[in-house]
Structure 1
Amino acid sequence: MLKPPISRMGGKSKLRKIIIEMIPEHICYVELFFGAGWVYFGKEPSKVEVINDIDKEIVNLFKMMKYHEAEISRLLKYEVSARDVFDNYINTDIKSLTDVQRAVRFIFILSQSFASKGKHFGYATTNRPSPQIFETEYLKLVKDRLRNTYIENLSFEKVIDKYDRNHTFFFCDPPYFETDGYGIEFERKEHLLLNTMLKNLKGKFLLTINDHPEVKEWYRGFNIKEVEVNYSVSREQSARGKYKELIITNY
């Protein structure tokens, strides 16, 4: 069970064991909203695997890890956890970088930022800087895991159209409904489109989403499992604590 090379807001680190245990038999495994890939990196490889994300920086990162892991490892050897390095990367025009340099920048910013949001330099008095980005042996494991995986950079509806078969399993972890902080537009319209497509799916799906009365109404008739997740990464004490989430399946 690998730890992803990056962290993302809304990642499934606290739920992945439960999710993996609920995955049904399948031939083709598809993640519609890949993010950091906690479930993908935690489960056993499927015969066919597809990871998709609309964020071009995420897709570029995993493409470069798949094809150019050695060069990424070489460049990361020279990185240090420093505020001025972080600020320089934040202010860098990515158009001036190669795809490999973009990947290194993305890893560094997310791994060294507060709550992996990529906005403010993260520091602590009880924890050391995130070390995994400097470990070349770890990146080789990530590369090997990605070797036989298709990497897509499409809207979720296009991925469903392309890969939906009776033997396909979709893991869906979209931006949560009426929740800020993801940095992409995913409103009621997108949620309702996802709902319609999942209702008409040939294959199986598992959806993780926040516990919201409208969401429960949309997916009435499906299997809904309520779980509590403890979130502790926040500057505001009031934002920490246990939150209810839903795991919804059509099997």
Structure 2
Amino acid sequence: MESNLFGELESEGVSPVAPWMGGKRNLAKRLTRIISTVDHQIYAEPFVGMGGVFLRRSFIPKAEVINDFSGDVINLFRILQRHYQQFLDCLKFQITSRREFERLIKTDPTTLTDLERAARFLYLQKTAFGGKVTGQSFGISPDRGGRFNISTLAPMLEDVHERLAGVVIENLSFTEFIPRYDRPGTLFYCDPPYFGCEDDYGKEMFSKDDFSRLADLMEGVKGKVLLSINDTPEIRSIFSAFHQKQVNVTYTVSETAPQEFSELIISNFDHPLLRLS
């Protein structure tokens, strides 16, 4: 590893182990470039998902904290961090199968051990179309092999396991998480559900009122906040007190051709890269 301009460590980013609806693959390069040039001692993510930005960053500050309100997400990260070898043993005989997909969809995750629950969650995320979290359907592509292939997945799991060394993993609401880790040297990257898609990650995980709560928190924090979200009149209004940068990204939202959408990068601080066209 090498040091960056702030004297902290630089590392090669790693890839998330599964797709995630709203994952930031198309925007990650721009976001990580901004993050790498913002001086901070603590990096904190209230809505980590599959870690689309967290894992792809090259800049490693003194402390890193990831959080998600989803118990399945946080259980997977904790298992990868602490029980990586046992997790591989749970996965090594798994194959891509519609029957197995349907069996796991019907399985109540609360009846499983933490290892079994993590294996179920990862399998469904890998084999469902579009990285959907709710309303999942078995994903098939005539031009590619099975979506769950342990021979290609194992090296990715190992990379994430190594990357999670020293990372604090929380399972809190964002209204608890942000005040807990807020201080002048903290950089929060926020990737909440898109406006109008609040239930895409499960009922009562996030509400429309939560956007205003997030904006209120951003106004009062001591640290810096970088937020990415879909571009709507409501979002522009709710976050009108902050810097807003409009960008175009391409996503596949259904089994059709990719489409271009407008998103906003919002911050409570000024930055040269957010002024560029």
Shorter-chain TM-score range: over 0.9
Aligned to 1:203: 223
Contact 2:48/2:67 (8 A) holds in 1:
yes
Is 2:52 the counterpart of 1:38? Answer: yes
Residue 25 (1) aligns with residue 39 (2): yes
Structure 1 residue aligned with 2:82 = 67
Residues in 2 aligned to 1:8 and 1:208: alpha-carbon distance in whole angstroms:
15
Residue of structure 2 equivalent to 1:181? 200
Shift of the alpha carbon at 1:243?
0.6
Q: Distance in 2 between matches of 1:205 and 1:132?
A: 37
Q: What is aligned with 1:147?
A: 165
Q: Which of 225, 235, 239 matches 1:215?
A: 235
Deviation at 1:59, TM superposition (A): 0.5
Tell me the equivalent position of 1:127: 144
Native 8 Å contact 1:132 1:138 kept in 2: no
TM-score, normalised relative to structure 2:
0.85
Deviations 1:88-113 (A, max 9, x none): 11111223311001101110011011
Kept in 2, the 8 Å contact 1:231–1:241? The answer is yes
Report how far residue 140 of structure 1 moved: 1.7
> How far 1:141 sits from its partner (Å)?
1.4
**Alignment partner, residue 6 of structure 2:** none
The answer (yes or no) to whether the contact 1:177–1:187 under 8 Å persists in 2 is no
Separation in structure 2 between the aligned mates of residue 59 and residue 184 of structure 1, nearest angstrom: 17
Percent identity over the alignment?
A: 38
Match 2:105 to one of 81, 86, 90: 90
CA RMSD, 1 decimal: 1.6
Q: 1: CA distance between counterparts of 2:173 and 2:243?
A: 25
TM-score, normalising length: structure 1: 0.94
Paired residues of 2:80 and 2:161 also in contact (CA < 8 A):
yes
- Cα deviation 1:216-239 (Å, max 9, x = unaligned): 1222242211111111241356xx
SS state at 1:228 partner: strand
- 1:51 corresponds to which residue? 66
Distance 1:96 1:187 in 2: 28
For 1:94, the aligned partner's letter is P
Deviations 1:30-71 (A, max 9, x none): 001011111111012221001000000001010011011101
Which of 118, 122, 127 pairs up with 1:103? 118
Contiguous gaps of at least 5 residues in structure 1: none
Q: Cα gap change, 1:192/1:221 in structure 2, threshold over 3 Å: closer, same or farther?
A: closer
Deviates more, 1:127-136 or 1:26-35: 127-136
1:191 aligns with 2:208: no
CA contact (8 A) 2:179 2:221 kept: no
* Structure 2 gaps, min length 5: 1-12, 270-277
Measured in 1, the distance between the counterparts of 2:117 and 2:189 equals: 27
1:113 to 119, 122, 128: 128
Q: Distance in 2 between matches of 1:221 and 1:189?
A: 17
Report Cα offsets for 1:183-228 as digits up to 9, x if no partner: 2432221111110000111000100011111211222242211111
Correspondent of 1:168 among 186, 191, 194 = 186
